[in-house]
Amino acid sequence: MAFELAEPTTVAITNANPRRELHGEEKVRAIDLSFTLTGENTLLDLIEPGLREHHYCNNALKDGQDPLPGVVIPLPNLRHPQLPLIYHYGKGQKWRGYHFIWDWGIDENHVDFTDAVLSGLQYELSEGGSVTIKGTISYNGEELQDNDLFGELSGLAAEGEISIKLLAPAELVQAKKGYRAGKPDTPPARDSGSGELDFDDDDEDSEEEGDGEERTPESAFADSVLGDQQ
Sign of the CA dihedral running 38, 42, 43, 47: positive
pLDDT of residue 21: 87
At 136, which helix (H) or strand (E)? strand 130-139
User: What is the model's pLDDT at position 211?
Assistant: 41
Taking only the tens of pLDDT, the chain with its 230 residues reads 699 999 999 999 999 999 998 777 788 999 999 999 999 999 999 999 999 999 999 998 876 556 566 667 889 999 999 999 999 999 999 999 999 999 866 666 689 999 999 999 999 999 999 999 999 999 999 999 999 999 999 999 988 899 999 999 999 999 988 788 988 876 555 544 544 434 344 444 444 434 444 455 555 555 665 556 55
Torsional sign, CA 12, 16, 21, 26: positive
Which letter, b or e, does each residue of 118-154 get, where b requires 16 or more Cβ atoms within 10 Å of its Cβ? Answer: bbbbbbebeeebebbbbbbbbbbbebbeeeeebbbbb
> Residue 109 has what pLDDT?
63
The one-character DSSP state at 224 is H
- DSSP reduced 3-state for 111: strand
Cα 40 to Cα 47, 101, 175, 198, 201, distances in angstroms: 13, 23, 30, 46, 37
> What is the C-alpha separation between 50 and 62, in angstroms, rounded?
19
Residue 131: which of 3, 37, 15 has the closest Cα? 37
* Domain parsing of the chain, residue ranges: 5-60+73-186+198-229
Q: How many C-beta atoms surround the C-beta of residue 75 within 10 A?
A: 20
Q: What are phi and psi of 125, to 5 degrees?
A: -95, 150
pLDDT score, position 183: 87
Distance, in Å, from the CA atom of 168 to the CA atom of 95, rounded to the nearest integer, reads 9
d(CA 120, CA 123): 10
Q: pTM for the full model?
A: 0.79
